[in-house]
Each structure stands twice: as C-alpha cells, then as structure tokens.
Amino acid sequence: MAIRTTPAAADQNMLPADPIVVAADVRKRFGSNEVLKGIDLRVPKGEVLCIIGPSGSGKSTFLRCINQLERIDGGAIWVAGELVGYRREGNFLYELTDAEIARQRRRIGMVFQRFNLFPHLTALENIIEGPVQVLGEKPAEARERAEALLARVGLADKRDAYPAHLSGGQQQRVAIARALAMRPELLLFDEPTSALDPELVGEVLGVMRDLAGTGMTMIVVTHELGFAREVSNRVAFMDQGQLVEIGDARQVLSDPQQARTRAFISAVH
Ligand code: ADP
Ligand code: MG
C-alpha cells in the first residue's frame, strides 16, 4: 500500500467536524497543465458558497477533487473532519482502499450540469436506487422518503415518469432529490442550470433556494449571479487555478476588490 506524507495533513489530521470543508493548499495538474495552484478554503456547516469564474479556471476540477472524482497532487482536503483519501496510522498516512473511498464519497451529493439520471428507471426508481443498494434502506421506507423528496422538488405527480418524458428542469429537480435521498452532509452543484433552456432555470434555482433555507451546506459553481447574490452567503471568484477573491456575496458581486473579479463580473452582466 502506498504511503505518502503531506505535512499539512499530518499537522491537521484531527479537525473538528465544523467546518464541513477545509482545503489547504490544494494542487492538481493534468500533465504539464497546473489546474489548481494552491486552493485554501473553509466552508462552515450550513453555508451556501457560490464559486464563479471563467471557463477553464478549475472550478469543476476543484469540486471533483472534493468528491474524489480526481486525486489531488498536493495539499489536503477534509470533509466533515475526515481527511479525504487517506487514513492516518501513527505518523503515516495510508491511501484509502476503493471501498473506503466509496464510504467517504457517500457523505457528499453532487449535481452535474447534465442530469445523469438512469434512463431506464422512473423518477421514483432513480431516487430509491442509492438508498436501497448503497445505504441498505428497506425498499418501502426508501419509497416513502423518495415520494416526500419528489413532493419537495414539486414533482409528486411525476413519480412514474421516465427521464425521457421529463423536461430538463424536471430531470434536474429529480437529480437533486436523488442526491438528497443519500442524506449528504454536503451538496456540490456544478453549473446545474447551464444546460437548461432559459425558461427552466428558475424552477431549479427555486428548489436550490429552498434547500439553502433548510441549512444544507452547499457549494455551487454557477454563472447565475442573481442567485449567488440572493441565496449564497459568500461568493468566491476563481481564475487560472486560484481563488482570487472570496467574501460576502453582495460585497464581492457589487464591490469586488480585485481587478480580475471586476472584469469578470462586468463581462457576465
Ligand atoms: P472550469 O470548470 O472552471 O471551466 P475545469 O476544472 O473544467 O474548469 O478545467 C480546468 C482546466 O483543466 C482546463 O484547462 C481543462 O482543460 C483542464 N482539464 C480538466 N479536466 C481535465 C482532464 N480530465 N484531463 C486533462 N485536462 C483537464
Ligand atoms: Mg466546469
């Protein structure tokens, strides 16, 4: 088993469960392309953080690293107090096994730009699949919760519909319900409305707004600056693999301190 020590990780192995996410000097490269150049971030429990920034700046890669869809090359990430990808024994860090990684990943829900529903399953079946197969919930119990979740995203009447018969907005709302069914401690959204026709964006943002009101910890990569302003606590601006600016949502969006943030925001508007 590979052994790797990261100084930051060794020092901070036992962090309290609050904040939910801690990133310390996170680095990621694809070949010679350094995509994340030392990201530092703390996300307290219950926070809604929006990440904005130009295409190619590393936003998706950062979310994927938090969720272990990518491996980081340097630094460390903790989710709910657990070091991501490693287990500590004495002075050594051991890489987690696939099964241990799967267990860690279960604590995080992720909603992608494309809805990624199983096409051969109904809305309800899509939602109960994870709880039954992965969490070992009783089917009847999972079904009852799935119905409640469908009602919560305004789709109680679509429980038996297949994805192909749902609009993009409805599919995305099912995808959110499916993520919630796994009882995540953290939800990551990667441009959840970017693939939608404009008239369908509002219904998905509405569900996300309701969710934010429940105290769910959310990191949302989005170009919807109106949503960022109204719903998020903080906004982070990312450019060329760095968090250029982070702060109170209204302040960052209305009065950015960095020239790069200002240029981006005025271009998006
Ligand atoms: P954003 O989400 O901000 O648009 P990404 O995180 O998708 O940015 O991409 C950041 C950079 O990393 C881009 O230059 C992209 O081409 C590169 N990249 C992302 N994923 C891969 C990959 N799997 N292999 C190689 N390069 C990648
Ligand atoms: Mg992206």
Q: Which atom of ligand 1 is nearest to the CA of 238?
A: 3
Provide the percentage of residues in the chain whose pLDDT is more than 70.
94
Q: How far is the CA of 65 from the centre of ligand 1 (A)?
A: 12
pLDDT tens string 99-109: 999 999 999 99
Give the per-residue pLDDT at 115: 74
> pTM of the entire structure?
0.93
**pLDDT band, very low/low/confident/very high, at 7 (cuts 50, 70, 90):** very low
Q: Is the pLDDT of residue 129 over 80?
A: yes
Q: Is the pLDDT of residue 33 over 60?
A: yes
Q: What is the mean pLDDT of the chain?
A: 93
The ipTM value here is 0.99
pLDDT, mean of residues 185-194:
97
DSSP E strands, the chain:
21-30, 33-43, 48-52, 74-79, 82-83, 86-89, 92-95, 108-111, 186-190, 218-221, 234-239, 242-248
pLDDT, mean of residues 205-213:
96
Q: Is the dihedral of CA 135, 103, 108, 160 positive or negative?
A: negative
**pLDDT band, very low/low/confident/very high, at 116 (cuts 50, 70, 90):** confident
Q: Which atom of ligand 1 is nearest to the CA of 61?
A: 6
Scored b (16 or more CB within 10 A) or e, 211-229 reads: bbeeebbbbbbbebbebbe
Question: Is any atom of ligand 1 closer than 6 Å to the C-beta of 182?
Answer: no
Question: Is any atom of ligand 1 closer than 6 Å to the C-beta of 222?
Answer: no
Rounded-to-integer distance, Cα 67 and Cα 61, Å: 10
Rounded-to-integer distance, Cα 155 and Cα 160, Å: 10
Residue with the bigger pLDDT between 80 and 16: it is 80
Give the per-residue pLDDT at 31: 96
pLDDT, mean of residues 186-195:
97
**pLDDT band, very low/low/confident/very high, at 145 (cuts 50, 70, 90):** very high
- For residue 96, the Cα-to-chain-centroid distance in whole angstroms is 21
- For residue 99, the Cα-to-chain-centroid distance in whole angstroms is 21
Neighbours of ion ligand 2 (CB under 5 A): 60
pLDDT tens string 219-230: 999 999 999 999
Q: Is the pLDDT of residue 27 over 90?
A: yes
Other Cβ atoms less than 10 A from the Cβ of 98: the count is 7
Q: Is the pLDDT of residue 17 over 70?
A: no
Nearest-CA residue for ligand 1 atom 22 is 30
**pLDDT band, very low/low/confident/very high, at 217 (cuts 50, 70, 90):** very high
Q: Which ligand is nearest the CA of 56, by number?
A: 1
3-state secondary structure 141-202: HHHHHHHHHHHHCCCHHHCCCCHHHCCHHHHHHHHHHHHHHCCCCEEEEECCCCCCCHHHHH
pLDDT, mean of residues 263-268:
93
